[in-house]
Amino acid sequence: MLLKKDIKKLVSYYIKKFDTTNPFEIADALGIIVQTGKLGFEGCYMFLKNHRCIFLSEDLSDHDRTLVMAHELGHAIMHRKVNCYFIRNQTLLLNSKREIEANTFAMNLLLTDDMLYEYKDYTINQLICNDL
């Protein structure tokens, strides 16, 4: 299992290399195939015939699509040859080491230190109430 600090370094490498935190742009730059369609789940990463592929549900909101994409990109980078499905409400799947790593990757990609630092002086109640 990768340590959180190692995942953070890995994410930082890709952000610097491609000058973006956009998971779609990073996937495109890495040659990862991304398809959207009717799925029975939110998304999945598959390694098919030597190609990295991410499939996203067309029913996701833009926000959720970005979140699931970042999660699946984590699988594509860290678990290259392992097929992984993202089903948010299945606790057994989310507790696996790979799922935790993919979630950590997504969090570090979508919530950079600069973003978090911007809110360092706010209380938890202000953040929860969106009183910014």
Active site residues: 72
Q: Kindly provide the b/e burial profile for residues 104-120, where b requires at least 16 CB atoms within 10 angstroms of the residue's own CB.
A: bbbbbbbeeeeeeeeee
One-letter amino acid identity for 113? D
Cα 98 to Cα 2, 51, 102, distances in angstroms? 9, 20, 6
